[in-house]
């Protein structure tokens, strides 16, 4: 059954100054911000990837009089491709329910917000299941409650853990292999909560002006440009059934290099290709349409999003699995 029904939007004595919608703010969705967005005109195409090793080798040599200089070169892989799948969802606003709705309910606006939220959450879940997980990046580390061994670290809510040292050590390791220091740390909400109460972090900021563990302060401690906190939640329960809420991102972290100025010859852990050439699409590949469904005496609010998030350089990401217990 389509919801809401007439009884949901009309009451005998409405409080017109109160209208509450449990809708997540757009900034809570981070999938479109971790990888730089590349607007594209075509749904599919190729992009170029330079061979990393060629750029960290020098063959410059002495030049004798009357001789040619040393010749060198580099290779380009033109086989990588993207394909911007189109995701769509709609909400119908029927004439009878709309005519019977009390102020301040705006059925068209509510429907637009609802389908937009559906699309953003879909993109978030796709990005999380694809890139915020193990087996994707060159380096995976697993959090343990006891003494860590190779490929492990002590969970950051355990006594004696060293999150600052863990992040800084891995940053140096990435720089050694790629020439780039990571500049973004993505963490789940529960990881943030543990870091805000970590003894090492509190000790380092106790003489600061406010002594509050903000994301900017964490970024400074970890040596990255920004810390991105994934706060989006999902309800895995069925419609009209029992709600089952959880954080989309879980108790993990991803340390990566995300190019702040994407362009030619610019490496990045990944890129987010948004099909802006799709008729009517905005900068993120999203478009909202409103059209008449006369057979059902309804207006249809339809949202579409066309995108493809692509891993470009797996050595520019380090995944911390199970940061907290």
The answer to whether position 122 is within a domain reads yes
Please check whether residue 136 is in contact with residue 130, taking contact to mean a CB–CB distance below 8 angstroms: yes
Enclosing domain of residue 95:
29-42+79-321
Phi and psi of 308, rounded to 5°?
-150, 115
Tell me what pLDDT residue 59 has. 85
* Residue 259, domain member (yes or no): yes
Hey, what are 168's tokens? Answer: 């800084």
Q: How many structural domains comprise the chain? A: 1
What distance in Å separates the CA atoms of residue 285 and residue 309, rounded to the nearest whole number?
Answer: 12
Residue 175 pLDDT: 96
So what's the pLDDT on residue 19?
47
* pLDDT confidence of residue 286: 87
- What's the pLDDT score for residue 6? 66
The pLDDT value recorded for residue 104 is 79
Question: For residue 2, which phi and psi values (nearest 5 degrees)?
Answer: -75, 135
- In a domain, residue 50? The reply is no
* Within-domain flag for 52: no
pTM given for the model:
0.85
pLDDT at residue number 9 = 61
Give the number of other CB atoms < 10 A from CB of residue 248. Answer: 22
C-alpha 253/C-alpha 317 separation (Å) is 10
Q: Tokens at residue 2, please?
A: 């389509």
Residue 270 lies in a domain: yes
153 within a domain of the structure (yes/no): yes
For residue 245, being part of any structural domain is answered with yes
Cα distances (Å, whole numbers) of residue 116 to 109, 179, 242: 11, 39, 23
Nearest to 163 by CA among 189, 194, 131, 190: 194
Q: What parts of the chain have a pLDDT lower than 70?
A: 1-2, 5-26, 208-211, 264-265
Residue 284 lies in a domain: yes
**CA pair distance 166, 155, nearest whole angstrom:** 10
* Domain harbouring 106, CATH code: 3.90.1690.10
């Amino acid at each position: 059954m389509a919801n809401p029904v007439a009884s949901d939007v009309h009451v005998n004595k409405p409080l017109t100054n109160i209208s509450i919608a449990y809708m997540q703010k757009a900034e809570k969705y981070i999938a479109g911000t971790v990888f730089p967005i590349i607007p594209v005109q075509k749904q599919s195409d190729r992009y170029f990837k330079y061979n990393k090793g060629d750029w960290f080798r020098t063959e410059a040599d002495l030049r004798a009089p009357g001789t040619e200089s040393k010749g060198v070169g580099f290779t380009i892989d033109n086989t990588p491709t993207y394909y911007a799948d189109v995701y769509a969802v709609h909400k119908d606003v029927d004439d009878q329910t709309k005519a019977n709705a009390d102020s301040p309910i705006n059925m068209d606006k509510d429907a637009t917000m609802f389908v937009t939220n559906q699309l953003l959450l879909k993109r978030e879940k796709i990005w999380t299941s694809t890139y915020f997980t193990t087996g994707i990046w060159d380096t995976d580390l697993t959090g343990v409650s006891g003494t860590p061994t190779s490929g492990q670290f002590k969970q950051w809510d355990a006594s004696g853990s060293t999150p600052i040292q863990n992040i800084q050590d891995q940053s140096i390791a990435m720089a050694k292999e790629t020439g780039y220091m990571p500049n973004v740390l993505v963490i789940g909400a529960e990881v943030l909560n543990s870091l805000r109460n970590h003894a090492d972090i509190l000790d380092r900021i106790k003489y600061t002006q406010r002594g509050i563990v903000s994301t900017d302060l964490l970024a400074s401690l970890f040596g990255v440009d920004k810390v991105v906190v994934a706060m989006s939640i999902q309800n895995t329960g069925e419609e009209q059934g029992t709600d089952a809420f959880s954080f989309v991102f879980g108790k993990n972290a991803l340390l990566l290099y995300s190019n702040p100025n994407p362009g030619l010859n610019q490496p990045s852990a990944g890129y987010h290709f948004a099909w802006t050439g799709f008729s009517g699409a905005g900068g993120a590949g999203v478009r909202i349409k409103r059209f008449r469904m006369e057979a059902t005496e309804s207006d249809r609010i339809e949202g579409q999003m066309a995108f493809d998030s692509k891993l470009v350089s797996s050595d520019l990401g380090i995944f911390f699995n199970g940061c907290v217990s």
